[in-house]
Chains A and B, each alone.
Chain A
Amino acid sequence: MAVVSTWNKIYRTLASVRTGIILLLVTVLFSAVGTVILQRPTTDAEEIQRSYSPTTLMWLDRLGLTDIYHTWYFLTLLGLVSLSIIFVSIDRWPNAWRFYARPYRRTEPHFRASLPLKATIPVADAAKALEATERAFRKHGMPVERIVDSEEVSIYSEKHRFSVFAVYVVHASLLLIFMGGIIDGLVGYRGFMQVLKGESANKITLRGTDGSSKPREIPFSVRCDNVGMETYENGAPKKYWSDLVIVDNGREARKKHIIVNDPMTYRGVKLYQASMGESGKMDKVELVAARGLEDLNGKRIWVGLNETAAIDDNYSVRVLRFIPEYYVQDGEVFQKSENLVDPAFQLALVDKSGAETRMWLIPRKANVTLEETPYRFAASDIKMAKYTGLEVSYQPGEWAVWAGVVLMALGLGIVFYMVHMRLWAVVVQDPANGQVLWIGGACNRNRDKFEQKFKAIVEEIGTEVGPPASGKKSGRELAHV
């Protein structure tokens, strides 16, 4: 028994509007906190280090404030909000359904007495009065339904009964959006992928919520056939583009030329053009092959990494290694970084027999190879290999989010612009005034506009029908200043 009543208490609390408002306020508060404190997923780790003292940062991290939107308490809060919406809807649904399914067509005396918006017009001819009523109702856009039974004839008019569900539509749409977000949170992923021109990749780097990065495989490969950028005259970027090919299980499944704002989708995974740049890898270098130090008319040759280019019938040159920034240790050459700051090329002069003479060319130190070889080399230009920067995301819950948005737009339209209006008319015997036509109206929104409509209808009926005693208007004031 105790369990049942506790459950009842929980249910009652969550289903109350007051709880809903409180939860709303707490959500607002926590969300605001997340905008004022730097959040790890969207801020550089260094910037966070710089902005807070170590102790402050430690406490912020411990309390989860540096990634508040993914903490257990924020997610619980959103869960409670969803529950509250669900419970309040369940709580009120039976009444709403009953109201919708069983319209109150025939009026009873106590209803007629207590309805706030009503009017009575003394009439001589009941049938004529009802006809006039029907005309007036129709003229104002309200449908007409005659209800005939053994005791009386009455008229019932109703429009937009569906609007009683408006609130449920809006709340359901909110839940749909949340559901989409939850699905994406649990199953979806987002990451970054750099693909060099001409190469393929099938791994993305996930951005962990604590700023760390983890690799993750995607179910197919992406090959970048070409990548480029267009600029405006003033140098500002105009367009980033890539030609991508999806290779799935060995076959080319799809091709697309993508640009920013126009991604490519394959099996639910979206590939967005985020950026492009030059990698630390060499595409081609332009070497000048000279016969000696005094030869000013050296031959210009473009050659790529691990490629051999012929200089003349006897000799060719091959690029063995390329290091964008080098350093020497223990007589060996190593790569210091990917930045094109201080490059080093290991070249090989290959003669007809295939014999190689290896040499190093370090342009910043001395832009000519120092070994005494038939040809000496200098570097005159270099093209770095471009890469395309792709943002990759898998968001299976997305459809729920957009469906929810559309549903919400519909729901809000119903809430604000679809008013449930009802009119009743019946001829009754009033002890004081004899036979009168009783007219009543009710609406669920925009009362003042409906009251004006009601007043106009009553006036029309009054002038068409009854005796010149212009009809007593009882109930509350009909006119609004």
Chain B
Amino acid sequence: MSRARAEQQPVAGGNMLLVSVALGMAFLLIWALLNVAKAHTGPIYGESNMLFVSLIFYAGAGALYMGFGVTGIERYVKFASIATAIGFLANTAAAGHRWYIAGRPPFSNMYEMLLSFVWTVALLTLIAEKGYGVKIIGSITMPISVVSVILMQLMPSDVRPLVPALQSTWLHVHVSLAMLSYAACAVSFALAMMFLIQDDMKTETFQVLTAISMAVVYISIVATRFRSGGLAVIGWDFNEKSEIFVAQGQRLFAIVPDLGWIFVLVLLSTVIPIALYFVARFRNDENFYVYANRGMFLTILLQAMALIVFVLRVQNGAYPSAEVQGLFRSALPASPFLLSGMVGSIFAGLLFLLMLWRREGLQKMLPSADNLDQVTYKTIGIAFPLLTLMIATGAYWANQAWGSYWSWDPKETWAAITWLVYAGYLHMRITRGWRGRRAAYFAILGFAVVIFTFFGVTYLLPGLHAYS
């Protein structure tokens, strides 16, 4: 069912945002330029400077895309695209420079992976927008890029030589395929979500699903890190700029007191909207949906506060450990998963709020549900062969390095499970004619499995894949 395109909004209001964003970006660029000139922090085209430039342009693009999301003014998209494209060029320069310095493509540690990821996301944003006409996708992908670049600043960025097992061309091929396929799966997820918006899935359903995702994040954190009121974080060795290990593969955990209780509180706050949703359904009382939405506000607020407290306490603290005597220092780079989980959860909450406030506007400017359904399928048609090649090159590399192409390692197994889930999507679609809602659910499930394969396996399960 197609919907009417957005009516032309008055252009006068459109200029304000454009001008403020442009001014903001110009200010930051000039400030950065002055800094570089003053402190001689490397050549203008150097990696860190180019990365900063791309950050500024992605942030500007993100602001304009979100502005488009809220107001529907098409002019914003034009400028947002230009900003994205410039950011992408700067990002390419940064990655290229790093490649040149390191003598190999940027795939061997967290910092480099994020660098490649952000580059891929920007590329896919431009493709989705120009190739498939999904203009709103930038409002999701650009904020993700901005957060990733900020996260990168916390990672140790020095170029480290590779241990023997990672010295192989197949590494680069395997990792780039992984990056591309995960990015394609992420895009299919975003498209499936947009489909659900267009397909008139109830706002309450979005609310409870967002709340459940947030709860899952905080349950995982509390279940694995709560220690008698405190929160266990990985200790950081400031000299080595790496995590502290007590034994082979076993990290040292320092316990930040009272932080555990704060996270339990946040966890409870994510459960409340879920409970209110079920009360509303059970009692058939619409008021409880309103309370549930208020609960969402509350939990997002609490999560933001918890994030601030976490950052302040962990950034440069010294805490005791349960296993070893003495105080150990903590630092943000030691907790990339916790940070990603918290930031991602807040981001999901904010997207829900955007939907809550501006659903009609969004529905007017998004492509039709049918269209979105088709594009989701096409995106998965790109993601699935990439996933296949990723697994195949991973197996070939494993065979070269460890003598076996398949050892049922958790990461391998979960990659295979991801593949099977998307194969399931394709089967249901092709042979059973599943379209619309059911296909969208399947696509979302697929992405959840991708997230688990990428984060959950490294974070929650042990294995050979401990490199990233």
Tell me, yes or no, whether A28 is within 8 Å of chain B by CB.
yes
Verify B427–A17 contact, CB threshold 8 A: yes
Interface residues of B in 132-169 (CB under 8 A from A): 160-161, 163-165, 167-168
Chain B residues in 8 Å Cβ range of A181: 406
Tell me, yes or no, whether A472 is within 8 Å of chain B by CB.
no
Bound together, the chains give a CA A473 to CA B409 distance in angstroms of 58
Tell me, yes or no, whether B282 is within 8 Å of chain A by CB.
no
- Interface-facing stretch out of B223-231, B306-314, B380-388: B380-388
User: Which one, A28, A69, A270, contacts B403 given CB within 8 A?
Assistant: A270
Chain A residues in 8 Å Cβ range of B401: 260-261, 272
Bound together, the chains give a CA A317 to CA B404 distance in angstroms of 49
Q: A21-B428, A28-B420, A42-B409 are in contact. Are A448 and B165 (CB under 8 A)?
A: no
Tell me, yes or no, whether B14 is within 8 Å of chain A by CB.
no
Tell me, yes or no, whether A393 is within 8 Å of chain B by CB.
yes
Tell me, yes or no, whether B392 is within 8 Å of chain A by CB.
yes
Chain A residues in 8 Å Cβ range of B424: 21, 24-25
Q: How far is the CB of A480 from chain B (nearest CB, A)?
A: 8
User: Which one, B374, B404, B457, B464, contacts A190 given CB within 8 A?
Assistant: B404
Q: A405-B392, A448-B374 are in contact. Are A261 and B404 (CB under 8 A)?
A: no
Interface residues of A in 34-74 (CB under 8 A from B): 34-36, 38-39, 41-43, 69
Tell me, yes or no, whether A373 is within 8 Å of chain B by CB.
no
Q: A34-B408, A481-B2 are in contact. Are A24 and B413 (CB under 8 A)?
A: no
Q: Give the nearest-CB partner of A35 in chain B.
A: B410
Tell me, yes or no, whether A436 is within 8 Å of chain B by CB.
no
| Max chain A C-beta neighbours (<10 A), residue from B374, B382, B389, B413 | B413
Verify A24–B420 contact, CB threshold 8 A: yes
Bound together, the chains give a CA A35 to CA B395 distance in angstroms of 18
Tell me, yes or no, whether A119 is within 8 Å of chain B by CB.
no
> How many of chain A's residues have a CB under 8 angstroms from any CB in B?
52
Chain B residues in 8 Å Cβ range of A310: none
Chain B residues in 8 Å Cβ range of A448: 374
Q: A21-B424, A236-B161, A238-B164 are in contact. Are A31 and B404 (CB under 8 A)?
A: no
Bound together, the chains give a CA A32 to CA B388 distance in angstroms of 19
| Max chain A C-beta neighbours (<10 A), residue from B2, B368, B401, B432 | B401
Q: A261-B400, A481-B371 are in contact. Are A42 and B388 (CB under 8 A)?
A: no
Verify A412–B384 contact, CB threshold 8 A: yes
Tell me, yes or no, whether A263 is within 8 Å of chain B by CB.
yes
Verify A261–B164 contact, CB threshold 8 A: yes
Bound together, the chains give a CA A398 to CA B399 distance in angstroms of 10
Tell me, yes or no, whether B396 is within 8 Å of chain A by CB.
yes
Bound together, the chains give a CA A273 to CA B428 distance in angstroms of 45
Tell me, yes or no, whether A237 is within 8 Å of chain B by CB.
yes
Bound together, the chains give a CA A240 to CA B371 distance in angstroms of 55
Bound together, the chains give a CA A240 to CA B401 distance in angstroms of 12
Bound together, the chains give a CA A36 to CA B371 distance in angstroms of 39
Bound together, the chains give a CA A20 to CA B431 distance in angstroms of 11
* Residues of chain A having any CB pair with chain B under 8 Å: 17, 20-21, 24-25, 27-28, 31-32, 34-36, 38-39, 41-43, 69, 181, 190, 232, 234, 236-240, 259-263, 270, 272-274, 391-393, 395, 398, 401-402, 405, 408-409, 412-413, 416, 448, 480-481
9 residue pairs, one from A and one from B, having the closest CB atoms: A260-B164, A35-B410, A393-B403, A391-B403, A481-B2, A405-B392, A412-B385, A232-B161, A261-B168
Name 27 interchain pairs, CB-CB below 8 A, sorted by A.
A21-B427, A24-B427, A28-B417, A31-B408, A32-B414, A35-B457, A232-B161, A234-B161, A237-B163, A238-B161, A240-B164, A260-B167, A261-B164, A262-B400, A263-B403, A272-B401, A272-B403, A273-B164, A274-B402, A393-B403, A398-B405, A401-B405, A402-B396, A405-B392, A408-B388, A408-B392, A416-B381
